[in-house]
Amino acid sequence: MLQTIREKSTSKIFYVLLMILMMGGLLFFGIGDYSFGGSQPYVAKVGGEIISENDFARRMDENRSRMRQMMGESYNARMFETPEFRRQLLDQMIDEELLTQAGAAAGLAITDAKLGEEIARTPVFQTDGKFDQALYEQLLQANNMTQKQYEERVRRDLALRELPSQINATALVTKADVDAFVRLRDQLRSFRYITLPIPAPAADSITDEAIKQYFDAHSIEYSHPEQVSVEYVEIDGAALGPVEPATEEELRAYYETQLHRFGTKEQRLASHVLIEVAENADAEAEKQAKQKIDALAAEHAAGKAFAEIASQSSDDVGSKSSGGDLGWIEAGTMEPAFEAALFALEAGQVSAPVRSAQGYHLIEAREIRPAALRGFDEVRAELETEVSEDRRIQRFSALQDQLYDSADQTSGTLEPIAKAVGGEVKKSDMFARDFGMGIALSPEVREVAFSPEVKEDGLSSEPIQLGKERIVVLRLLERTASKPKTLDEVKDQVQAVLMSEATAKAAKEAADAAFKRLLADEPMDTLATSLGATVVDAADTGRQGLTHDAVLISEVFKIARPAEGAVANALVKLNDSGYALVQLSAVVDGDPSKLDDAARTAARDQLKQELAATEAEAFRKALRASVPIKIDESKI
């Protein structure tokens, strides 16, 4: 299958495939991406291999690109430049290298057949649910990646996943394990509880003196943030006016340059049967392969369906399950011998045995799609849109160049920049480092506005890219320093904090007193009446019980099982300042014997997944403990 894909391809990938690999959990990394040699600079050394500075920088760039696309205008590059983030990324790369080395040491290898299957089942390469070779080629070519490069990356990523999948496959779950799991998972508990009322301290219990003391001790927490306003010049591609429409002559000239897009070569809907034999095979292997393909040709001549022959006998694992289907094949994309035979057939015909670099083929041409060309009038609207968009982009690019040129030559004022791009100098409202309106909604703008160069030195900023077609240059206009708030300004806030603390303290004291009474064997009903509360009965409640507070249920299932005929009392902390008194009276384990086959299988799969995750983490830690890892902290 791998060779078939390669023979039928000439084109396709980086942006699209970057998304594919990210969405599928694949990562562009691998031992082949690392640099070797003991004297080379490195960020980390894992055993005998290194993670170079270039490897680390490239991975950082990939993460930035992914997060920028996910977060849009809220993306802030500084969020992903922190030491914590960089260390987390390096640890991930180290773990990947450890897995790569462990897989190689274990002899795990990715066969061409498995690689071909992985590529063939990638949805973006499929049309109507089937692998589309032409689409595969177009995506690769459009993104400047060769098939060999893509296949090598997918092979490495498959190898990375292979060892964890082997660990998962070998996770052993016995019948006794499943039974124990079900007994716990389906356990029911019967209990009664009182949600204790929360005391409400009187508002006048918080004295002015207490408020002042708290404010004096925490005054640093109450201040007006430092604020700035900026003047700025912006170019926004989305706000550019309409461009000059293309003339008839320009559209026709553009059409002539795009004929390759609007025309299709002749195509054949093909199937094949492959008997693999190496191109340099010895005479005996060649003879056996030829005899086998001749026998299959004879079976077809005798009336056996081609798809049945392919499903039973083809060596192409990527197509045999679909009766040898290769999809639509365009002229000029196949190995010459294969293509010559295919395009010599009429619809419905099957070729004589054909020798290729892979082996021997029988080829069936199921349908023929003639070459076609969409006429100028048919695509005129599409051409007009493309020319207008191209001109708009050119216009934006020209303004961008002018902005960069003038920004390099300007100091002290933004007027020359505004004049160069035909814009105006605008002014923002005051905004803080953490939030602003208008242009300051952008985290990048706030970050730059508060940078030492702009805020302290009064310099104009470098051009700031806010989007694909949005750039701004700014300069400090006004600045107000952070200043403490007065007690009068924050008195209500401080009072609320003190009230909350007083409430929490009173609630804890009341809960402890009530629990002491419960432990002294005071009946729960009597206790509830005296507290003005209600006893709630929760019989046969499961772990996912939805009719009671989730925190309460979670805590109840942590209470030790009571002795037969006895109850277990507990004080449970709820959210906020709330508490509950609980009396647990009965615990009934789940019954594994009541599971049908499907439910037992589901329970086994769930337990196996959790066990595999635990074992995989233990394996990762063991690798880290057994392989020398050296990190150059100065490079992180």
For residue range 452-462, what is the model confidence (pLDDT) as tens digits?
889 988 888 98
Q: 212-221, 261-270, 313-322: which has the minimum mean pLDDT? A: 261-270
3-state secondary structure of 410: coil
Scored b (16 or more CB within 10 A) or e, 439-456 reads: bbebbbbbbbbbeeebbe
Closest CA to 403 of 478, 474, 458: 474
452: which DSSP letter? Answer: I
Q: Hey, is 111 helix, strand or coil? A: coil
Q: How confident is the model at residue 450 (pLDDT cuts 50, 70, 90)?
A: very high
Say what the pLDDT of residue 74 is.
66
The amino acid present at 67, given as its one-letter code, is: M
Compute, in degrees rounded to 10, the torsion defined by CA atoms 340, 341, 344, 346. Answer: -140
Q: Is 488 exposed, middle or buried (0-12, 13-18, 19+ CB in 10 A)?
A: exposed
Strand, helix or coil for residue 503? helix
How does DSSP classify residue 455?
Answer: I
Domain residue extents for the chain: 2-169, 188-215+489-588, 227-243+388-484, 266-370
Residue 162 pLDDT exceeds 80:
no
β strands within 372-417, DSSP E: 372-373
**Would you call 421 helix, strand, or coil by DSSP?**
coil
Do residues 231 and 414 make contact, with C-beta atoms less than 8 angstroms apart? yes
pLDDT at 10 over 60: no
Model pLDDT for residues 189-202, shown as the tens digit of each residue: 999 999 999 988 87
pLDDT of residue 590: 95
Spatial contact of 28 and 153, defined as CB atoms under 8 Å apart:
yes
Please give the model's pTM, rounded to 2 decimal places.
0.50
> What is the C-alpha to C-alpha distance for residues 95 and 620, in angstroms, rounded to an integer?
7
Tell me which CATH homologous superfamily contains domain 2-169: Porin chaperone SurA, peptide-binding domain (1.10.4030.10)
CB 190 within 8 A of CB 538: yes
Whether 322 contacts 130, CB under 8 Å: yes
Residue 16 in contact with residue 143, Cβ under 8 Å? yes
CB atoms within 10 A of CB 405: 12
Whether the per-residue pLDDT at 13 is higher than 60: the answer is no
C-alpha dihedral over 422, 427, 432, 438, to 10 degrees?
Answer: -70
Report the run of H or E that residue 569 belongs to, with start and end. strand 568-573
Helix-strand-coil percent breakdown of the chain, rounded to 5?
55, 20, 30
Of the chain, the percentage scoring pLDDT greater than 70 comes to: 92
Residue 324 has what pLDDT? 92
pLDDT recorded at residue 586: 96
What is the model's pLDDT at position 186?
A: 93
Q: Which amino acid is at 179?
A: D
Count Cβ atoms within 10 A of the Cβ of residue 23 and give its class: 0-12 exposed, 13-18 middle, 19 or more buried.
Answer: exposed
Of 410-419, 476-485, 532-541, give the lowest mean pLDDT range. 410-419
Q: What is the pLDDT of residue 394?
A: 86
- How much is the pLDDT for 221? 87
| Contacts with 310 (C-beta within 8 Å, 6 or more apart), sequence order | 271, 272, 273, 319, 320, 323, 324
* Beta carbons within 10 angstroms of residue 481's beta carbon: 8
pLDDT recorded at residue 557: 95
> CB of 43 within 8 A of CB of 630?
no
CA dihedral 194, 199, 200, 205 (to 10 degrees): 180
The tens digit of pLDDT for each residue in 571-602 reads 999 988 899 999 999 999 999 999 999 999 99
At 93, the amino acid letter reads M
Q: How confident is the model at residue 177 (pLDDT cuts 50, 70, 90)?
A: very high
Give the CA radius of gyration of the chain: 36
For the stretch 319-375, pLDDT in tens is: 888 999 988 888 777 888 999 999 999 999 999 999 998 899 999 999 998 888 888
Instruction: Return the CATH fold of 266-370.
Output: Chitinase A; domain 3 (3.10.50)
pLDDT band at 16 (very low <50, low <70, confident <90, very high): very low
Q: Tens digits of per-residue pLDDT, 383-430?
A: 998 888 888 888 888 888 888 888 766 667 899 899 988 889 999 999
